[in-house]
Chain A
Amino acid sequence: MSAAHDHHHGPAKGISRWLFTTNHKDIGSMYLWFSFAMFLLGGTFALVIRAELFQPGLQFVEPNFFNQMTTMHGLIMVFGAVMPAFVGLANWMIPLMIGAPDMALPRMNNWSFWILPFAFAMMVSTLFMEGGGPNFGWTFYAPLSTTYGPPSTTFFIFAVHILGASSIMGAINVIATILNMRAPGMTLMKMPLFVWTWLITAYLLIAVMPVLAGVVTMMLFDIHFGTAFFDAAGGGDPVLFQHLFWFFGHPEVYIMILPAFGIISAIIPTFARKRLFGYDSMVYATASIAFLSFIVWAHHMFTVGMPLAGQLFFMYATMLIAVPTGVKVFNWVATMFRGSMTFETPMLFAIAFVVLFTIGGFTGVMLAITPVDFQYHDTYFVVAHFHYVLVPGAVFSIMAATYYWLPKWTGYMYDETLGKLHFWLSFIGVNILFFPQHFLGLAGMPRRIPDYALQFADFNWISSVGGFLFGFSQLILLFVIIKCVRGGKKATAQVWEGAQGLEWTVPSPAPYHTFETPPDPTLIKAQ
């Protein structure tokens, strides 16, 4: 580069900095703030649900509104909170981790973020439309969502199209960045696991998002153009909808957990001051899980009446997922074993992740046993299962990542006391919230009901208390972040004593432009 281009220019001023930015750090921050806003909104909907379920009887909302709340809560948390948070982390951290100056396709990066607020504005606005918003669950099974859906379903479909486009663009960008922009010396098998898990996640996204787009388009045609893909009266097949949806939906579950595995694989070695145990096996396990995620989708549909051979195939394939997942958990424990551990907030969240995600994994193995799934299916047992893998799983990993990298992003240390308080309240709250739901499901409470029989009353109010505790604790996180952005103890470049990786070789806060020249190859060590 010529000397004239060598000086660093900072960000543009005012709103145009954010509207027109192509900087991976700015875009990463916007994704993360957006995700946090959606997390609070989706959480508010969850609190409406928990308030209504606090006692038997209809207290606060009509059943139709209740159904809109369960639907919107799911859609917003999956597509608005968890996925954008991981994309935000990818934007911020992947270039820093592989020694790249930015994402490979910075303008597309801007676009893939900025269409999201519009998609969600449209989705949420359906709640105010005549006939109400989507009320058929986040899985929007036909024909409930087609022939019997509210008029606003069309807007919901369009919103899903936009979200899908955003996800696909994000995924292309991640793949292009990782495959083309690694610094010299950063071989594939030296990449941090967060980069590896995101690479694999991005392929999953590209594979399944078009299927989701296809299935909502078929709904659109059924609703407006007289086709009958899912309408039995016109020769269509409602079960086909479920096959297509879950062909997207099951890999989607892994899209929300693989990057979490990467984060935990970064944090545990740092605070155990010991190299990650079994790096290679972690990479292979991630790839195996991704592969298996394509051949297990029908375990969400064991009660639709598939032929026996199909049931057995999906049962065996699903059980197999426990093997690579187990390998990961064992590797994390082996990393902690004979380390020299300290327990700062990121580590607390990471340890809680390992324990509680594993509990979610255990119930997952139970759900795989088809004949027993007949009892568990569509009950609160399933609700407990997937919330254990998604909340103290995916969401805790995002919180762990936030505390872990916040000093690198802001240049200041966060308030450790408040961080620990936030952790403990979240940890206690999340367990009071979701553990009793296992009992509710086993005792026979179906999911997605606004009112319930009296024998479910006790565990429901306990769960609701946990819900409010967990929900309000998140305001502490908001406070900690704002406080940290505004100042505090100066962070060093290294931040954490045991941290390894290129992101810790740049100053804190990370300058607006980093790695304009590739890092010294000797800095790149095996993980």
Chain B
Amino acid sequence: MLSKAKLWLGLALSTLMFWSAGLHAAWELNMPRGVTQMSRDTYGLHMTIFWWVVAIGIVVFGAMLWSIIHHRKSKGAKPATFHESTKVEIVWTLIPFAILIMMAIPATRVLTDAYDTTGSELDIQITGYQWRWEYTYLRENMDEEEVSFFSILSTSREEISNAIEKSENYLLDVDKPLVIPTDTRVRFLMTSADVIHAWWVPDFAIKKDTIPGFINETWVVVEEPGIYRGQCAELCGIEHGFMPIVVHALPPEEYQAWYAEQQQAAAEIRELASAEMSMEDAMAQGEQIYNQNCVACHQANGQGMPPVFPAVAGSDKATGDRLITMDTLVNGVPGTAMAAYGRQLNPIQLAAVITYVRNAFGNDTGDLVQPTEVNAYIQEGQ
């Protein structure tokens, strides 16, 4: 009976194997060593404790197996009568205790090191949002142009719904990665605008919660230039599985060049925001922004998922007074999942998406909202 069951299991497994051969074969078994001193220390601790438990396992399971083989009734084993020994109990209390102390010492050292956030050369604020990350480079001089941007999943919805083939970095690609210099002590200040998220990049051995109302700190010195990927690690709502992290570590000179470019781009956007936008431009850009930012709740057809996520198609707030639509987008609806996009999107993007929701899904109001108008609205609010 048993062998029959095994046969079936074997058959089922090999069929499956054959069938899934088309998928990426990746049999990664262990934690990455990573690219920082901290990640290598962590890996070292992980392997040390791993070999300790393997050794203990061999002794304990070995003794068990030996008893199971030799001390069975079918082999005529007669039960012994011993049933206690204070000496033995003391021995097997003290040995594990000693092993634990040997583990605790290096663990304490590494942890203390992880908590030393002094001496940073660059500070970056990371803010978690449902479901994106905001990276803000803290300036020393407030007259400088600020570099701050959002980083959102760029894997297409078609890939997720299996309509088209999945790309190599499926679910691990963003529109705009965080960029940091190598060989530089970078400090991250972490917080959240809504629920708790956790920022995790395995190659750095950093995982820290971003919590509304708190600022957590951690630091990193990346030694090798490269692209490092991670994900949000704390359940944060519907799209929790879809908020990846991508970090580009560049050599310091390249980083400086990138940073200067970003400052310039920020200045340009401020300029552009004073220009007029055409209806076609606004609708095209608005659709793109809607698909990136809003579909998770309001759905691609604008019907939402009532009652939690209302429809924008035909809704009063999207078809009525344009100021109300603007208010909903810029300030969000406090106490609900509708976030304030006033910071997340720039005035051009806001104008585009407002125009889009007021004209798409049969909301044909014919209204075109300009960046200047949004900008004025935001300034007024402050």
Contact = CB atoms under 8 A, between A and B. Distances in A.
Given A342-B72, A446-B233, A455-B26, A369 B60 contact: no
Interface string A442-478: 1110111111111111110100010001000000000
Interface string A173-193: 000000000000000000000
Interface stretch (B154-162, B349-357, B370-378): B154-162
A312 B110 CA distance: 11
Interface of B: 1-2, 5, 9, 12-13, 16, 20, 23-32, 38, 41-42, 45-46, 49-50, 53, 56-57, 60-61, 63-64, 67-68, 71-74, 77-85, 88-89, 92-93, 96-97, 100, 103-104, 107-108, 110-112, 114-115, 130, 159-162, 166, 168-172, 194-196, 198, 200, 202, 205-209, 211-214, 216-217, 230-242, 305-308, 334-335, 337
A227 interface: no
Given A273-B73, A339-B79, A341-B67, A327 B239 contact: no
Contact of B72 (A340, A425, A439): A340
A144 interface: yes
A233 B77 CA distance: 70
A453 B169 contact: yes
B28 A443 contact: yes
A323 B100 contact: yes
A141 B107 CA distance: 28
13 contacts: A144-B236, A144-B237, A148-B237, A151-B308, A233-B334, A279-B83, A304-B216, A330-B60, A340-B77, A370-B111, A372-B42, A378-B200, A439-B28
Contacts of A482: none
Contacts of B57: 358-359, 362
Interface in A55-72: 55-59, 63-64, 67
B72 A341 contact: yes
B241 A450 contact: yes
A238 B211 contact: yes
B30 A326 contact: no
A55 B100 CA distance: 40
Contact of A237 (B28, B96, B213): B213
B80 A274 contact: yes
A458 B211 CA distance: 34
A362 B89 CA distance: 20
B195 A371 contact: no
Contacts of A479: none
A280 B240 CA distance: 48
Contact of A366 (B25, B53, B207, B238): B53
Interface residues of A, number: 108
A277 B28 CA distance: 42
Contact of B71 (A135, A281, A320, A338): A338
A275 B85 CA distance: 13
A340 B166 contact: no
Contacts of A141: 195-196, 234-235
B35 to A, nearest CB: 14
A277 B169 CA distance: 55
A366 B195 contact: no
A121 B335 CA distance: 29
A360 to B, nearest CB: 11
B26 A457 contact: yes
A455 B24 contact: yes
B85 to A, nearest CB: 8
Contact of B16 (A143, A311, A334, A465): A465
Q: Point out which of A371, A449, A457 has the most chain B C-beta atoms below 10 A from its C-beta.
A: A371
B88 A334 contact: yes
- Looking at B25, B32, B213, which has the most chain A CB atoms within 10 Å of its CB? B213
Contact of A372 (B45, B68, B79): B45
Given A362-B56, A457-B23, A131 B308 contact: yes
A424 B4 CA distance: 13
A275 B81 CA distance: 7
B166 A465 contact: no
B307 A303 contact: no
Contacts of B111: 308, 311-312, 315, 370-371
